[in-house]
Amino acid sequence: MRFEQPLWLWLLVLVVALVAAYLIAQRRRTKYAVRFATLPMLEKVAPVRPGWRRHAPAAAFLAALTVLTIAIARPVADIRVPRERATVLVAMDVSNSMAATDVAPNRFETAKQAAIEFVRDLPEKFNVGLVSFARTATVVSAPSTNHQATVDAINSLQLRDSTAIGDAVLTSLQAVRSIDPDDPPPSRIVLLSDGGNTAGSPVDEAAEAAAQAGVPVSTIAYGTPEGTVNLEGRDVPVPADTEALKGLADATSGSFYEAENDEQLRDVYSDLQSSIGWTTEPREITNLVAGIALAAALLAALASLLWFSRLP
């Protein structure tokens, strides 16, 4: 929590002084009653008090003063609020390694279904598009609020040769720039790959371009390290290049994930949906704090009237 006018917090010193004065007064009252009263009269002079109830109204009143002082200082807190608009580019690896069956029934079919659920769960006002990449990268569905078009595009994907991760990022950036260039909404690239960069632009070059454009790239390293695909009659290992994908995410202030099965992949997309759909903004909460102070003051007055028939 921060304060727009923190100097007002010095008033809390006055509240502390009032607390000290109250405690001293209570101590003196008990001390003098015991010192000057004879034992037979002690019960009448210092009768049994109503315990904690005697101090509750004063404590509530002092709490109200404390909270009111905080309200005067105009507190500001970081509040999680839903985004009103954003652009999300789903970049999906369609290289032949996605045919590996270490993820049942295979990486490709599972990845498509998880991506479809991700797109459908995004807010309706978000622009969503699809970029597929193998030897080259292609905008299969331009970003728009027509999420069904992106879903249909995901269903139409076909496997091809090679993996161009760098080109996928650069092509996604071009698609992002096409959305309201005068007032572009916040953008994010969500890139899934199960291999390493084997064609096109270097990943470092793409990461630098995304960082300069202020577009985070969240990456998903997909599949198990033991995954293989049969090419021309022989089994070829196809592990994801986690180091390159993590470096891409780190360089662009994105998030890096690993998913080795269907459940993990769906959890990743669920986490991404939550982080993309919401943002944290500073909001002044003076009214809320002042309301708490008023409630505490009313509680103090009510307790005093009910227990002692007087205001504190």
76-85, 158-167, 280-289: the lowest-pLDDT one: 76-85
CA distances from 210 to 198, 213, 277 (A): 20, 5, 20
Orientation of helix 12-36 relative to helix 56-72, angle to 10°: 160
Choose between 20 and 291: higher pLDDT.
Answer: 291
Asked whether residue 45 carries a pLDDT value surpassing 60, the answer given is no
Residue 196's SS3 state is coil
* pLDDT band, residue 42 (cuts 50/70/90): very low
The tens digit of pLDDT for each residue in 1-19 reads: 777 777 767 767 776 777 6
Give me the pLDDT at residue 163, please: 93
The tens digit of pLDDT for each residue in 191-227 reads: 999 989 999 999 999 999 999 999 999 999 999 988 8
Residues 6+ apart with CB under 8 A from 189: 88, 89, 91, 169, 172, 173, 176, 210, 215, 216, 217, 218, 254
- What is the Cα 1 distance to its own chain's centre? 17
Please tell me which of 60-64, 207-211, 227-231, 285-289 the model is most confident about, judged by mean pLDDT: 207-211
Give me the pLDDT at residue 5, please: 72
Give me the pLDDT at residue 87, please: 93
Order of strands, sheet of 75-82, starting from the edge strand that comes earlier in the sequence: 2-3, 75-82, 278-284
Q: How far apart are CA 220 and CA 60, in angstroms?
A: 53
Please list the alpha-helical segments (H only) found in the chain.
Answer: 12-36, 39-45, 56-72, 107-121, 147-155, 165-177, 203-213, 242-251, 262-277, 286-308
* pLDDT band, residue 61 (cuts 50/70/90): confident
Question: Which amino acid does the sequence have at 243?
Answer: E
Domains of the chain with CATH codes: 2-79+282-308 (no CATH), 83-260 (3.40.50.410)
Asked whether residue 37 carries a pLDDT value surpassing 60, the answer given is no
Choose between 48 and 5: higher pLDDT.
Answer: 5
Short-list 260, 250, 202, CA closest to 227: 260
The tens digit of pLDDT for each residue in 120-140 reads: 999 888 999 999 999 999 999
Q: How far apart are CA 103 and CA 194, in angstroms?
A: 11
Q: How far apart are CA 236 and CA 39, in angstroms?
A: 98
112-121, 180-189, 216-225: the lowest-pLDDT one: 180-189
The tens digit of pLDDT for each residue in 256-275 reads: 999 999 999 999 999 988 88
* pLDDT band, residue 38 (cuts 50/70/90): low
Residue with tokens 């009313």: 298
Cis peptide before 82 (omega within 30 of 0): no
Give me the pLDDT at residue 305, please: 64
Give me the pLDDT at residue 64, please: 78
Short-list 154, 157, 161, 156, CA closest to 96: 161
Q: How many CB atoms lie within 10 A of CB 273?
A: 19
* pLDDT band, residue 81 (cuts 50/70/90): low
Give me the pLDDT at residue 68, please: 79
Asked whether residue 79 carries a pLDDT value surpassing 70, the answer given is yes
This prediction's pTM: 0.70
